[in-house]
Structures are given as C-alpha cells and as structure tokens.
Amino acid sequence: MLIKKGAEANLYLKEWHGRKVILKHRIPKKYRLKIIDEQIRQYRTLHEPQLMHKAKQAGVPTPTIFMVDTANTTIIMEYIEGKQVKLILNELTKKERISLCKKIGRLIGKLHRNGIIHGDLTTSNMILTPTGKIFFLDFGLGEFSKELEAMGVDLHLMKRALQSTHFKFADECFKAVLNGYMETFGQETEKVLEKIREIERRGRYIAERKEKP
C-alpha cells in the first residue's frame, strides 16, 4: 500500500516475513539526465542505510534496515508507529514543545559527535513514538563528516525548517534545540554556533548580516 508519495521516493507499507515494514523506492526522475538520475538514486540508496546504522549505534533511534537493493534503488526498513513531529509541534503546550525540541537537540548533538550529518533536519523527518522516543528518518542527503561547516549547515537547516513550518515558535524551538545540542555535543558547541553565524552572514540577502560579527 502506497502511504506517501514524496518528492524523491514512494513509501509503501508492506508485510515482509511477518513484519510490518516500509519499502522506500527512489523513483526515476525524468526531468534530469539519466546519468545524473541514476547516480543520485544509487548513491542515496547506498548511503542512507549506512548513515542510519551508524546513527543507531550512536544512540539515535532510526528504523532498522532489513534489505538494500541498489540496482532497484529500494530499501526495506522497520515500520515505526508514531506521529510526525511536524504535525504535533504546533499543538503542544509551550513546556512540552520546549522539552521535545531539547530532546531533538540532544539527538542532533549525538549525531554530530559521531561524525554523522543528517542533511535534511526537518520536523517531517522525525517521528515521536507513543513511548516518547524520537526516531530520525530520511538520511538520503546525509554524509559522514567531522567538519564544523557540515555541522553548521545541518543546524542552520533545522532553524530554517522551523522558520518555514513552525514560524510562530521558531525562535523558542531553535533555542531549545541548541540547549539540548550543547548537552550532548559538549564544549565545542560554541564553535558550531559561530559557524552557523558565519554561514548566515555568507548568504546574499540575509538579515543576520545586518549585525556586525
């Protein structure tokens, strides 16, 4: 059963050897050259499971991978019962919202500490389970990197996602994310924060540039 038609992949909910699984199929995109299309889909199909596996080892919940088929650009993974953070964040009380964002921040800190860059940190890529665990999904744009630049961009994207989808609470949410991040990432957080400021000043028409560094 097709449960989501995303921009780059179709997600199917299936029965697989007696388990409920998600089959993620990266579909061909005819708008781009075949050679670019195949490279992108195969690269992401191969790297996503590797990143998810490492993330799990680092203590960040991700669905367990059951099968990877690069030729057909398909991944079979565990189905996670829960709600997309995007759908619930605006409905929470302020206290709950801050606590959830702090938790998210702690998880991002763990990823970065272990050299894992998610690449697409948005609230639609996070699932809150009934037991209160947060699962991270969609590592397709991720990479392994210990560079401040990559970590800074990763967090900057989180901030931008909050601004476009949860604009009413963006500031308090991002602050809470950073507080959580600091707990797990540790002392070097200040360096990452400085990098975020630098990235924002680099943009062409960026309000942040109005302030002197």
Partner 1 sequence: MEYCLGIESTADDFSVGIASFEGEILANIIDAFISETGGIHPREAAQHHSQVAGKVLAEAFKKAKIKPKEIKVVAFSQGPGLGPCLRTGATVARALASYLGVPLVGVNHCVAHIEIGKLITGAKDPVTLYVSGGNTIVSAFDAGRYRVFGETLDIAVGNCLDVFARTAGLRQREGMPFGAIIEKLAEKGSRFVPLPYSVKGMDLSFSGLLTAAIELLKREEYSLEDIAFSLQETVFAMLTEVTERALAHTEKKEVLLTGGVAANKRLQEMLRRIAEEHNARFCVVPKQYALDNGAMIAWTGVLAYKHGQTVPIERSFVKLRWRLDEVDVPWVKE
Binding site for partner 1 (CB under 8 A): 5-8, 29-33, 35-36, 39-40, 119-122, 124, 141, 153, 156-157, 160-161, 163-164, 167, 199, 202-207, 209-210
Closest CA to 146 of 106, 112, 181: 112
Q: Please state the closest distance from residue 6 (CB atom) to partner 1, in A.
A: 6
Pick 99 or 160: Cβ nearer partner 1: 160
The contacts of residue 189 (CB under 8 Å, 6+ apart) are 109, 178, 181, 182
Q: DSSP secondary-structure letter at 133? A: -
C-alpha distances in Å from residue 61, one per residue of 4, 25, 71, 212: 21, 22, 27, 39
Q: Please state the closest distance from residue 209 (CB atom) to partner 1, in A.
A: 6
Pick 64 or 88: Cβ nearer partner 1: 88
Instruction: Tell me, yes or no, if 120 is annotated catalytic.
Output: yes
Q: Using CA atoms, how far apart are residues 5 and 11, in angstroms rounded to an integer?
A: 6
Q: Using CA atoms, how far apart are residues 170 and 46, in angstroms rounded to an integer?
A: 33
The contacts of residue 116 (CB under 8 Å, 6+ apart) are 51, 54, 55, 58, 60, 142, 144
Q: Using CA atoms, how far apart are residues 176 and 153, in angstroms rounded to an integer?
A: 18
Report phi then psi at 132, rounded to 5: 90, 5
Catalytic, out of 37, 69, 120, 138: 120
Q: Please state the closest distance from residue 131 (CB atom) to partner 1, in A.
A: 28
Q: Please state the closest distance from residue 120 (CB atom) to partner 1, in A.
A: 5
> Which residues does the annotation mark as catalytic?
120
